[in-house]
Structure 1
């Protein structure tokens, strides 16, 4: 499997995916850190790690569905443009192996994004002289929630990207996911649970509450029942997508 995953990275070496990842990530971090800087200028004593982490998770709801759609689309599009499915079959390579390799490739790229986010968050907070110690537990929980959500989103996006030749559908789904991800907190509880993009915020270990006309950031930890449920749903999406694509006529 690692050989096929390495092959996927080799195939996208000229796709400038890393450049797109860094570009979109810089926009997201600039937006989040600008909001943090504004909060700091208004009330320097009120800014904490919880505030910055909350800004990051909110921006993830908007940007990561779009970024994931772009990454997965670029990874999958070459099979459509090059019509390589038949060529792979003649080389005795199972489509299930290629499907799994593409999924692993996309997951590793998104994991790279999450690691960059953590590093940038620590650097920003240290540069702003946030007095409290680095909350590694909160940062790791945030990364875990983001990764689990992204894995489910990748499974959905890969299914669509490989099932439909026109990648505009997959990209539109990513933009729709970004809209839902940033506005999901406005939906009723039982409604937003049905949208996987809403879990960028739902799995955040920190929740923002309005108490007496003031904003309070409450640490609630990572919801492991939600994590388990989302993992199972991601496995379901991957299994159904794999079954459909691998049995599709080429």
Structure 2
């Protein structure tokens, strides 16, 4: 597997895929810094709660398409040159599939670490007085990694099975739109049935809007283990089925 991973790293040399996670986190940083409410003194007492409540929505907007682009670029060398037949004479198909998934996982881990650093940096620059809520930050980062890896897996399967990369990229764009649409419904309804909505399903914070005072209040909520268990089972099934389909694909 190490040899296969090294081969994948050589294929993407010069493609600057690290720019994708860096760009997403950079956009989210600028978005939050431009949020005038977060800079107000009255917001600093719940500053981290506001961040951890808003960032999953931004991830829902940006990441489905970014992950589709990442998967497409990682699978691009074989698709462009139609070199799967040549490659499979020297390497097992299952190792090719797993190496590309592992490479995507490394970039997603990089994204997750950047996102954690982004939260800490924003808290310092915006002078939050709220203590860092570790019990909410860790689930946020874990959900970010797991959901992103599952979405990347889905996009990788599509990119490896479909020669033209327009369709996988279109599905990634559609995922961003559908994910944002699901966020307008109560958590626990539409988003539960859409893989792109699980950034929101993984929230450990909920909101309540007081119409008379025109104020939104954030409060802690339990993690939705039931739905996330279903999501993990579906992701495992996708891995098994997707890998099987790739191994059966004519090259």
The TM-score normalised by the length of structure 2 is 0.91
Distance 1:186 1:33, change over 3 A: same
Shift of 1:34: 2.2
**CA distance in structure 2 between the partners assigned to 1:43 and 1:108 by the alignment:** 39
1: distance between equivalents of 2:107 and 2:86? 26
Aligned residues: 248
User: For residues 45-124 of structure 1, what are the structure 2 equivalents within 5 Å?
Assistant: 45=44, 47-91=46-90, 93-124=91-122
Q: Which residue pairs with 1:155 in the alignment? A: 153
- Mapped partners of 2:2, 2:224: distance in 1: 31
What does residue 223 of structure 1 align with? 224
1:17-70 per-residue CA deviation (whole Å, 9 max, x = no partner) reads: 1123322331233223323x4333384455421001112111011111111111
Contact 1:33 1:52 in 2 (8 A): no
Let me know the Cα RMSD of the aligned residues.
1.8
In 2 relative to 1, CA 33–208 (structure 1 residues): closer, same or farther, beyond 3 Å? farther
User: Where does residue 233 of structure 1 map in the other structure?
Assistant: 234
Compute the TM-score of the two structures, normalised by the length of structure 1.
Answer: 0.92
Map 1:205-224 onto structure 2 (within 5 A). 205-212=204-211, 213-224=214-225
Moved more, 58-67 or 212-221: 212-221
| The 10-residue stretch of structure 1 (76-85 or 188-197) with the greater mean CA deviation from structure 2 | 188-197
**Contact 1:65/1:177 (<8 A) preserved:** yes
What is the CA–CA distance in structure 2 between the aligned matches of 1:154 and 1:5, rounded to whole Å?
17
Unaligned runs of 5+ in 1: none
For residue 129 of structure 1, give the secondary structure of its aligned residue in structure 2: coil
Tell me which residue corresponds to 1:33.
33
Q: Which residue of 2 aligns with 1:11?
A: 11
Offset of 1:191 from its aligned partner?
Answer: 3.2
Unaligned runs of 5+ in 2: none
1:207 and 1:7 map into 2 onto residues whose CA distance is 45
Distance 1:21 1:145, change over 3 A: closer
